[in-house]
């Protein structure tokens, strides 16, 4: 019996690389990415430099090694168990960083993931930053990003504008202070979206006084891999400077959470989760006519014709009728919704609202709207 047990033990000892060994190796290898991510976050909090380096050596290397070893010091394979515990902890922290807070992790990797390359000089660090930026953009759940250049105090990006059956790569100024995206008349003509006699006008207050620019609707505008469309744009000659055809305004940027990363020269974009109200864009293209009201017993019946002047469908419309007194105080409010109005179509609104004593007038207002791409 003793001989059989010794033979079995010798066989197990000579069994080579087993599944247990593979799992143990995999767990231990988790130490490296875990240490890298933790040290990058530490650089975010402490800043890169001597303090950060000492914190990495003491807090992320020495402390776990000594702590885990002390916990299992009586185990016959204390050093191996220490490595396994350290590896498991590192894997858990890495999974947390990658899948629970991917957006923050992406930014941390881009900004500080290459901190260790600083010891090899500025050029090596710059190359490391480029590699880390590529790694960050490939992470699941990470934001998209596009390069930008800083020219004469403006952030300039490369975009693609869609027109009538054609698209055009252009350079634009990213301007979150502009309510509307703008394009030059030449760009509008090249895209086949030049304004017509019934195009609505955008009134803008400038240093030289009030200016008006016609509005057009672009089928879409793409920045990197992020597209918004349809999109209203003002045709503005003064807004185009040099080879930059216009401004990328708030009606585009409001669809994203944007971060300007000056260190890497990239604009990071993450789509907002909430629905974006496009009322400011849609309203200029809606023409209301035939607005009338009449009392019928205890009800006030309001009727109106709403015509969509744009080349794209509109929808998710919410109109609000308000009855007011002589002092323009609201007496009663009624909301009516319209699912869709096709391009060039007219919709009849019929609103029944309870009549109120002292009612002197009423008003009809658009409260929300969105674009609806034309059905193919």
- Is residue 331 scored above 90 in pLDDT? yes
Return the CATH number at 201. 2.40.70.10
- Is residue 269 scored above 50 in pLDDT? yes
Q: Is residue 5 part of a domain?
A: no
Same-domain status, 87 and 177: no
pTM above 0.85, yes or no: no
Same-domain status, 85 and 174: no
Q: Is residue 105 part of a domain?
A: yes
- Is residue 11 scored above 60 in pLDDT? no
How far is C-alpha 57 from the chain's CA centre? 37
What is the pairing mode between strands 231-235 and 226-228? unpaired
Q: Is residue 148 part of a domain?
A: yes
Same-domain status, 148 and 253: yes
Q: Which of 145, 180, 97, 86 is nearest to 264 (CA)?
A: 145
Which residue, of 107, 137, 167, is where some domain finishes? 137
Residue 97 pLDDT class (50, 70, 90 cuts):
confident
pLDDT, tens digit, 9 for 90 and up, residues 185-222: 999 999 999 998 889 999 887 666 788 999 999 999 99
Same-domain status, 27 and 90: yes
Same-domain status, 270 and 154: yes
Percent of the chain with pLDDT over 90: 52
pLDDT reported for residue 177: 86
Return the CATH number at 332. 2.60.40.1620
pLDDT, tens digit, 9 for 90 and up, residues 344-376: 999 999 999 999 998 999 999 999 999 987 554
Q: Is residue 327 part of a domain?
A: yes
- Is residue 17 scored above 60 in pLDDT? no
- Is residue 90 scored above 70 in pLDDT? yes
pLDDT reported for residue 143: 67
Look up the domain containing 323 and give its range: 280-372
Q: Is residue 305 part of a domain?
A: yes
Q: What's the first-to-final CA gap in the chain, in angstroms?
A: 82
Which residue, of 224, 244, 276, is where some domain finishes? 276
Q: Is residue 12 part of a domain?
A: no
Same-domain status, 45 and 131: yes
The answer to whether the CB of 227 falls within 8 A of the CB of 196 is no
The answer to whether the CB of 215 falls within 8 A of the CB of 180 is yes
- Is residue 339 scored above 90 in pLDDT? yes
Total domains, the chain: 3
Asked which of 6-15, 19-28, 156-165, 349-358 is least confident by mean pLDDT, the reply is 6-15
Same-domain status, 61 and 98: yes
The answer to whether the CB of 56 falls within 8 A of the CB of 65 is no
Rounded alpha-carbon distances, angstroms, from residue 175 to 24, 36, 315: 53, 36, 27
């Amino acid at each position: 019996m003793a001989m059989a047990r010794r033979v079995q033990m010798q066989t197990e000892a000579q069994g080579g690389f087993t599944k247990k060994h593979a799992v143990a190796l995999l767990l231990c290898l988790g130490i490296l990415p875990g240490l890298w991510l933790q040290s990058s976050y530490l650089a975010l909090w402490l800043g890169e430099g001597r303090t950060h380096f000492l914190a990495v050596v003491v807090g992320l290397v020495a402390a776990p090694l000594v702590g885990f070893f002390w916990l299992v010091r009586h185990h016959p394979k204390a050093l191996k168990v220490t490595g396994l515990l350290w590896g498991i902890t590192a894997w858990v922290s890495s999974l947390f960083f990658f899948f629970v807070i991917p957006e923050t992790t992406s930014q941390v990797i881009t900004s500080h993931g290459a901190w260790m390359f600083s010891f090899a000089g500025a050029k090596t660090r710059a190359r490391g930053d480029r590699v880390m930026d590529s790694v960050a953009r490939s992470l699941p759940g990470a934001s998209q990003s596009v390069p930008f250049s800083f020219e004469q105090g403006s952030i300039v990006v490369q975009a693609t504008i869609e027109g009538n059956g054609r698209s055009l790569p252009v350079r634009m100024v990213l301007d979150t202070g502009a309510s509307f995206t703008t394009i030059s008349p030449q760009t509008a003509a090249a895209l086949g979206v030049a304004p017509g006699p019934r195009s609505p006008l955008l009134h803008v207050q400038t240093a030289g006084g009030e200016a008006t620019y016609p509005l057009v609707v672009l089928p879409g505008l793409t920045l990197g891999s992020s597209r918004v469309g349809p999109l209203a744009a003002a045709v503005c000659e003064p807004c185009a400077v040099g080879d930059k055809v216009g401004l990328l305004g708030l009606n585009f940027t409001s669809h994203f959470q944007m971060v300007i990363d000056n260190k890497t020269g990239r604009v990071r974009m993450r789509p907002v989760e909430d629905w974006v109200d496009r009322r400011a864009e849609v309203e200029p293209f809606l023409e209301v006519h035939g607005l009338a009201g009449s009392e019928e017993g205890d009800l006030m019946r309001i009727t109106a014709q709403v015509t969509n002047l744009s080349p794209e469908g509109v929808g998710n419309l919410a109109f609000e009728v308000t009855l007011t007194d002589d002092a323009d105080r609201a007496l009663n409010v009624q909301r009516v919704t319209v699912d869709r109005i096709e391009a060039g179509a007219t919709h009849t609104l019929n609103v029944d609202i309870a009549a109120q004593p002292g009612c002197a007038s009423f008003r009809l207002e658009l409260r929300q709207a969105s674009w609806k791409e034309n059905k193919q």
